[in-house]
Amino acid sequence: MGEHILSWMTFFPVIGAAVIAFIPSERKEVIKTVAAAAAAVPLILAVKLFMEFDRATTSFQFVEHYTWIKSFNIEYFMGIDGLSVPMVLLTALLSFLCVIASWNIAKAEKGYFALFLILEAGMMGVFCALDFFLFYVFWEVMLLPMYFLIGIWGGPRREYAAIKFFLYTLAGSVLMLLAMIAFYLNTTDPVTGGHTFNMLHMFDQANHNSWLQLTNIRHLLWLGLFIGFAIKVPIFPFHTWLPDAHVEAPTAVSVILAGVLLKMGTYGILRISYPMLPDAAVWFAPALAILGAINILYGAYCAMAQTDMKKLVAYSSVSHMGYVLLGMAAFTEAGINGAVLQMFNHGTITAMMFLCVGVIYDRAHHREINGFGGLGLQMPIYTSVFSFALFAALGLPGLSGFVGEAMIFMGVFPVYRTVAIVSALGLIIGAAYVLWMLQRVFLGPKNDKYDDLPDISTRELVTLVPIGILVLLFGVYPMPVLNLMKASLNNLIKVVAG
């Protein structure tokens, strides 16, 4: 597996899905075990990747480069750099833990786990692909299992939520598709002289023909790509699919949705828009910063008004992704490294929060914040774990959420001072909605209605504790993650902003 590590990581889950397809659906334990094994392999490979990844170079590593569809010059081109490697690690980790977290799914297990594994393959592929067409294929492949996972295994309004998610994302994809084709037709492969989907060729501005050098065209293309990615992030005002999808999705799918899928939006901007259209990126940067501030504050205020725990966490994602946008807009070392660190950290923290919401939903069968109270005495361990996640979310120093946010502010403040000051109000609002929820759910007198709720189970702890350890570890000492990314990201700043 050493040779084609990225392909193995991407396609091993597909093999698992294929195996599951042949297991009779009543053999539930076998299906789950196979799924866990299929998700475990990418995780083990991720550890290997982490060990072997060269932190010093800015070029792509573990590259696999083959011709795929010769007539259109489409290639099977995989490789990772400092931007993608944290995302790959995050995907492998969360996918495995989510399989464990899905153990008590009691409906059509076979389909669920097969689709889940295909979803993992799609996500992994997006983060590894270096051919635009391949990227697009993975991007779309991921949609389908997601649609079914929400639409079949979701809550009462699952169909509405699934279709909304699907159509919304598809609308963005169409714009991305148009931009991609425009790039394809106007980029010359320096070797063959033909059109190319190779991203590295597209990054090189010398390969762009004169049409692609027109400023208006470039701004238009940026906008097309941006809307495609913005829907995924999601950036205001394209975010309303998110709360619906989250509320209806089963716990593990919410975790993947918030933990990994949202990052694809910002990843896309950094991977594709920034190096392909650096001038447009600089031109749009102030707008990006302002959108970031809007996300932070608007998301936080909306979160404050929610009465459904899951919706609150969903809006908190909108808010926290705003920090990522803000950091990206500054083109400073601290800003962009902070942004990608925040992507990683938000992935782990929000995963903890959704898993925790799942724990209580499985027991009480509702998520009404005002319907709880006093759980701190009833479920002390669960309370500690959830509080840990919540304090990480409000940016408590010592936990990882703080590091990314602090770096983002330190990177953005010199460039967009006013936007940074306004965004810093998010520190207060963010703490307010988190603590208010914590109070309403866990504090106060014991609620007799929940006298028989058992505390968190070992299986649930198994999904939460490893993430918690990472949140603490990277909060105390973030360099292991930053070392992975800093060479590539510092190089990206040079490429984009000179």
Partner 1 sequence: MMSDNAILYSALAILGLPLLSYVLTFFFGKKLPRKGDWIGVGLMGLAELLAIRIFISFWKLGDPTHRVEGSFTWIDLGGFKVDAGVLVDGTTAIMLMVVCTVSFLVHLYSVGYMHGDRRYERFFAFLGFFTFSMLGIVLSNNLFFLYVFWELVGLASYLLIGFFFHKHSAANANKKAFLTNRVGDFGFWLGILVFFTATGTLNYFELFAHVHAGTIKGSLLAWAGVGLFMGCVGKSAQMPLHIWLPDAMEGPTPVSALIHAATMVAAGVYMVARLAPLFGPEAGMVILYVGAITAFIAATIALVKTDIKRVLAFSTLSQLGYMVMALGAGDSVNSMFHLTTHAMFKALLFLGAGSVIHAVHSQEMPDMGGLRKKMPITFVTFVVATLAISGVPFFAGFYSKDGILGSTLAFGMIEGHYLPFILGITAAAVTPFYMFRIVFMTFFGKPRDQEKFDHAHESGWSMTVPLMILGALSICAAGWQTADVGWFSRFMVKYDVPAIAAEFHMEGPAAAEHLDTSHTDDGHGTPADTHAAQADSHAPAGDAHAATADDGHGDAHHDVHHTAHVRAMAMSIGAAFLGILASWWVYHRRKVNTAAIQARLSGVHTVLQGQYFFDEFYAATIYRATLWWAAMCAAFDKYVVDGIVNGTGYLTRMMSWVAGQIDRWVVDGAVNGVAAVLQGAGEGFRRLQTGRVQTYLVYASASVLLLVLVYRVL
Residues 475-494, interacting with partner 1 (CB under 8 A): 477-479, 482, 486, 490
Q: Which residues does 340 contact at the CB level (< 8 Å), separation at least 6?
A: 83, 86, 270, 324, 485, 489
- Part of the chain binding partner 1 (CB under 8 A), chosen from 57-65, 260-268, 283-291, 473-481: 473-481
What mask of x and - would describe binding to partner 1 in positions 173 to 202, judged by CB under 8 A? xx--xx--x---x-----------------
382 contacts partner 1 (rule: CB under 8 A):
no
Considering only residues 296 to 325 of the shown chain, the ones binding partner 1 according to CB under 8 A are 298, 301-302, 304-306
Closer residue to partner 1 (CB): 12 or 315: 315
Smallest CA-to-CA distance from 310 within 257, 259, 254, 267 is with 254
Whole-number minimum distance, CB 356 to partner 1, in Å?
18
211 contacts partner 1 (rule: CB under 8 A):
no
CA distance 96 to 39: 5
332 contacts partner 1 (rule: CB under 8 A):
yes
334 contacts partner 1 (rule: CB under 8 A):
yes
Kindly report the number of other CB atoms within 10 A of residue 7's CB atom.
18
CA angle 95, 100, 106 (to 5 degrees): 115
Smallest CA-to-CA distance from 180 within 136, 229, 215, 124 is with 136
Query: What would the DSSP string read from start to end of 128-196?
Result: HB-BHHHHHHHHHHHHHHHHHHHHHHS-TTHHHHHHHHHHHHHHHHHHHHHHHHHHHHHBB-TTT-SB-
CA distance 348 to 356: 12
Considering only residues 393 to 452 of the shown chain, the ones binding partner 1 according to CB under 8 A are 396-398, 402-403, 406-407, 409-411, 413-414, 420-421, 424-425, 427-429, 431-433, 435-436, 438-439, 442-446
Residue 287 to residues 271, 410, 419: CA-CA distances in angstroms?
19, 19, 11
Query: What would the DSSP string read from start to end of 186-211?
Result: HBB-TTT-SB--BHHHHHSGGGB-SG
- Part of the chain binding partner 1 (CB under 8 A), chosen from 19-27, 62-70, 163-171, 196-204: 163-171
Whole-number minimum distance, CB 237 to partner 1, in Å?
5
When binding is defined by CB under 8 A, the residue of 376, 401, 404, 468 that contacts partner 1 is 376
Whole-number minimum distance, CB 378 to partner 1, in Å?
11
Q: Which residues pair with 220 in a beta bridge?
A: none
CA distance 42 to 177: 29
Considering only residues 25 to 84 of the shown chain, the ones binding partner 1 according to CB under 8 A are 72
Whole-number minimum distance, CB 334 to partner 1, in Å?
4
Whole-number minimum distance, CB 446 to partner 1, in Å?
6
3-class state of residue 368 by DSSP: strand
- Part of the chain binding partner 1 (CB under 8 A), chosen from 22-30, 47-55, 139-147, 264-272: 139-147
159 contacts partner 1 (rule: CB under 8 A):
yes
Closer residue to partner 1 (CB): 222 or 236: 236
CA distance 38 to 212: 43
Closer residue to partner 1 (CB): 364 or 472: 472
Whole-number minimum distance, CB 166 to partner 1, in Å?
6
Beta carbons of 202 and 221 less than 8 angstroms apart: no
Closer residue to partner 1 (CB): 92 or 403: 403
